[in-house]
Structure 1
Amino acid sequence: MKFETNDEGHLTIGGCDALTLAAQFGTPAYVYDVAQIRGQMRAFAQVFEQHHVQYAVSYASKAFATVAMYQVAAQEHAHVDVVSGGELYTAQAAQFPMANVSFHGNNKSEAELKQALAAGVGTIIIDNFHELTLLAALLKQTPQRVQDVMLRVTPGISAHTHAYDQTGQTDSKFGFDVDSGQAKAAATQVLANPQLHLLGIHAHIGSQIFEVAGFVAATKRLLAILTDWHETLAFTPSVLNLGGGFGIQYTDQDDPLPAERFITAILETISAADLPFAVPAVWIEPGRAIVGAAGYQLYTVGSRKDVPGLAPFVAVDGGMGDNIRPALYQAKYEAVAAKDPAAPATETVRLVGKYCESGDILIDQAPPPHLTAGAVIAVLATGAYGYSMASNYNRNPRPAVVFAENGQAKLVVRRESFSDLIQNDLSYL
């Protein structure tokens, strides 16, 4: 795994010494290298521009959503997609341009759709017939309003990834099924409604994908669908949204392609197709690929349990409450000592958390140098789904979030206090 160090040999994040960050902001803490986030957004954009294709890089908020993250996305002229009223509210608080927001979700409530319409969300991605009916009814209340929409479809293509991360197969809770005719029936309904402007279709085949084959197959399938709709429904698409799911490196065992390679494969597939309409704008929705590798979690080592014949347990001051992925997905990570990340391994330990669960194991086989109480350790590539999935399990406050860029660090989410934990509790007495 790649990391950077300073003249003292300490781990640096965004040009900041990790030990200094731990001392200044406390642990556990999430720290992001903002320049790395910007660089990945720009790398995606560059591929599209080199191919002279209209595009949108729409950051998938579910990976990591804070006011500061939306502000960075706006600075980089990215779009964002949101999947809840809470994510939308956060984007609004960041003054993110609503025209560049897409609203996803398989069960958007009436309140959320009203919120989206009132906010002026650019695109609503319709997931099912219930939502289609609900949105149409809400739009009738403002007869002059026309809303841009896309239809999410399940193209019947499964990605080679964890079962929980597959979303493009027919047996999925997301989207209109293609093979049964649901997707075409939905398109017919949308095209018949003058208050709905159909931009195109969307599909998302999964997450943490390492092969281009699934994206190539999905692109061909979606182009075939659009060609059929063009011929039978007189529909000309302006957008083809291929979703996200581009894999990143979590450990030395992962060998992902550069995320931009997926875009090249998609664009080459479109270019080779004999389309009866002009090439539509291509939208993608990377989340993990933008923030995953840019994020670090800093912990302080506490207790240690040594049992003869077994790998030692080394506990840190966080765990499954701030990174549930190892327990939920059996996700793998690597960790380094912040003081000397290049130090050779002297033992193999089980890096565990402080939560009251035997499954609270962050790394099952971590090979750091010998760790003693007070040492600061950094878990790498934790920028996606750590903070987003964080909880107050065992009534532990959620950690702070720090943005580091050009040697400057800024607190962007304060650490929760104990009083924060009970702010919504009501007395029974």
Structure 2
Amino acid sequence: MFLHGTSRINDAGHLEIGGCDVTELKAEYGTPLYIVDEQLVRRRCREYMDAFAASGLGFQVAYASKAFSVMAMCRLADEEGLSLDVVSDGELYTALQAGFPAERIHFHGNNKTPDEIEMALDARIGCFVVDNLVELELLQAIAAEKNQTVNVLLRVTPGVEAHAHHAYAATGQTDSKFGFDIGNGSAQEAVRLASSKANLKLLGVHSHIGSQIFETEGFQLAVERVAGFARKVKEELGIEFSVVNLGGGFGIRYVEGDTPLQVSEYVAAITDAVKTHFAGIGSKLPEIWVEPGRSIVGDAGTTLYTIGTSKEIPGVRKYVAVDGGMTDNPRPALYESKYEAVLANRAGEQPEETVSIAGKCCESGDMLIWDVELPKAESGDLLAVACTGAYNYSMASNYNRIRRPAVVFVQNGQSDLVVKRESHGDIIANDIVPARIAKQPVTK
């Protein structure tokens, strides 16, 4: 397994993250356990902030909280000077409860409910990213009722199809559930309508072309398309964009063969393209916003499991089962995502066999890794799966009524619990048994 951030194999032959021996973390917190390398998260935040500061452009780096939304992460993002994007009332509530400054919160989503819009307006968040005409009219109506003027960006689809791993991760193409299409004229009409609304202040546009992208060409082409659109809007409507949000999608290394660029390379390509293609369109270059999520927390996360049973099918494969699975990491089932792993309590030993890691859910598709080389695994060994910081905790479920894991932040030899492991009581906390069936059966 490739070691990210502060991860290393210590003198005991154990995996160590943030100066914490994972065998000790298991003893204290149990498994499955999400372990977050706080130092690496902070380093990634600073790489973005420093790279944009060096560009000379105005900017905001908004952490995409959908990747991993807990109060401690919101506090960390605030400490590092990032803004925050949210896509639901739950993510917004988490941010507000964590004390994140509302004026640096951006609200996304293709189907914001009236209640969510009211909640965001009452909090006086910094910006709405408007996705469609229904939302545009709804936001104007509610803002007018509250006598507020709100900042908006219009999400546009530039017709750029990013080189995403899975079709579900590509969002910038014309056939997408998101945004106004530049090519068919709907984006320009949305600009005209938004600029006419008394309670909406149009800042500019938002474009997101996909996820897990390993090259810069897609971002550069998106900038070119959005700049062409901005020029047309300026010439035909007399409207200038003061903000252009270019989304996220910056890739990370999950397995051998993944070739992400350095943060500084992505940022330089984007900012250079902005300087080239937006020159002369308006009175000044627009402020650039981006929304990294996975690239901030993805490779900083490791999930620790305890190995239980195994099953060998001669001539076919050997299955090794862990005490988690698709409930804490549904991405292999959803996206055919690949991962690397190591026996965390025997990390210094050489591999002896190729096995497949199975989860404990009652689903044949509950497989975490197909074909990984490990030392001969025994019941009670610890398996660490790397790069699970993004879209793992946030997608976790209670399927089979399995309790969701705890989350710990580790740094400088210290571990801090940031999410408690769910209890059995938590599982039934919202259950209600109607009175008509609440009577206990008579036993004979």
TM-score (norm 2): 0.95
Mapping 1:90-129, distance limit 5 Å: 90-129=94-133
State the 1:409 CA deviation. 0.3
- CA deviations 1:151-172 (Å, max 9, x no partner) are 0001111111110001111100
1:4-403 to structure 2, matched below 5 A, reads 4-143=8-147, 145-161=148-164, 162-273=166-277, 274-277=279-282, 278-403=284-409
- Kindly provide the amino acid, as one letter, of the partner of residue 125 in structure 2: V
Deviations 1:258-308 (A, max 9, x none): 233111111111222333221111111010000000000000000011222
> Do the aligned residues in 1 keep the contact of 2:318 with 2:356 (CA within 8 Å)?
yes
Tell me if the contact between 1:315 and 1:354 (Cα under 8 Å) persists in the aligned partners. Answer: yes
1:296 counterpart letter in structure 2: T
CA contact (8 A) 2:247 2:289 kept: yes
Q: Deviations over 1:304-363 (max 9, x none)?
A: 112221221100000011000011110000001112324221100011111001111100
CA deviation string 1:354-373 (max 9, x = no partner): 10011111000111111100
Q: Give the secondary-structure state (helix, strand or coil) at the position aligned to 2:145.
A: coil
Query: Is the CA contact (8 Å cut-off) linking 1:157 and 1:205 kept in structure 2?
Result: yes
SS in structure 2 at match of 1:365: strand
Preserved CA contact (<8 Å) 1:13 1:33: yes
Pairwise CA distance, 1:109: 0.4
Given that 1:247 and 1:259 are in contact with CA atoms closer than 8 Å, whether structure 2 keeps it comes out as no
Distance 2:105 2:252 in 1: 25
How much identity, in percent, do the aligned residues show? 49
Matched residue count: 428
| Residues in 2 aligned to 1:259 and 1:360: alpha-carbon distance in whole angstroms | 33
Secondary structure of 2:41's counterpart equals helix
What are structure 1's unaligned runs of at least 5 residues? none
One-letter amino acid of the counterpart of residue 314, structure 2: P
Contiguous gaps of at least 5 residues in structure 2: 438-444
Q: Which moved more, 1:241-250 or 1:14-23?
A: 14-23
How far, CA to CA, are the matches of 1:43 and 1:380 in structure 2? 21
Q: Report SS of the residue matched to 1:354.
A: coil
Q: Aligned partner of 1:253: which letter?
A: G
The CA distance in 2 between the partners of 1:359 and 1:141, in whole Å, is 49
Instruction: Give, in whole Å, the separation in 2 of the partners of 1:251 and 1:188.
Output: 46
Q: 1:83 corresponds to which letter in structure 2? A: V
User: When the two structures are superposed, what TM-score results if normalisation uses the length of structure 1?
Assistant: 0.98
Is contact 1:316-1:353 (8 Å) kept?
yes
* 1:413 correspondence with 2:413: no
- The residue matched to 2:62 in structure 1 has which SS? strand
**Paired residue secondary structure (1:135):** helix
Question: Secondary structure in 2 aligned to 1:364?
Answer: strand
Q: In 2, distance between residues paired with 1:9 and 1:227?
A: 60
Tell me the amino acid that sits aligned with residue 364 of structure 1. W
Deviation per residue, 1:135-185 (Å, 9 max, x gap): 111111133x21011000011111111100011111000001111211111
Q: For the residues of structure 2 that align with 1:417 and 1:300, how far apart are their CA atoms?
A: 18
CA distance in 1, matches of 2:370, 2:401: 25
